[in-house]
Amino acid sequence: MSGADNHELHRRRRGRNLAVGGVLLALVALMFAVTIVKLSQGPASPF
């Protein structure tokens, strides 16, 4: 694999890693927000 190919490979992997990191952060924020809302609404059964 040439140096240019290697650079392109790393660029694409970096983009993917950043996207996965962003999704995980968004998921944590979402969970936190829903938890706060649910706690403020009091106990409820999902059934």
Partner 1 sequence: MAELGPRALGPAYSLDDAPFEAVEAQVADYWALLKPRVMSLVIFTAFVGLMAAPAPVHPVVAIASLLCVAVGAGASGALNMWWDADIDRHMDRTKDRPVPSGRVAAEEALGIGIALSLLSVGFLFLFANALAAFLLALTIFYYLVIYSMWLKRRTPLNIVIGGAAGAFPPLIGWAVATGGVAVEPLVLFAIIFLWTPPHSWALALARRADYARVGVPMLPVVSGDQETRRQIWLYALALAAAAAAPFATELAGPAYLLVAPLMTWRMLAASRRLAARTAEEAVADKFRAEWRYFGLSIAYLFALFSAILVDVWARPLTMALIGG
Residue 21 in the binding site for partner 1 (CB under 8 A):
no
Residue 7 in the binding site for partner 1 (CB under 8 A):
no
Residue 43 in the binding site for partner 1 (CB under 8 A):
no
> CA–CA distance from 46 to each of 34, 36, 39 (Å)?
14, 16, 14
CB nearer to partner 1: give 2 or 41: 41
CB nearer to partner 1: give 25 or 30: 30
- The answer for 2, left when phi > 0, alpha when psi is -120 to 50, beta otherwise, is beta
Residue 1 in the binding site for partner 1 (CB under 8 A):
no
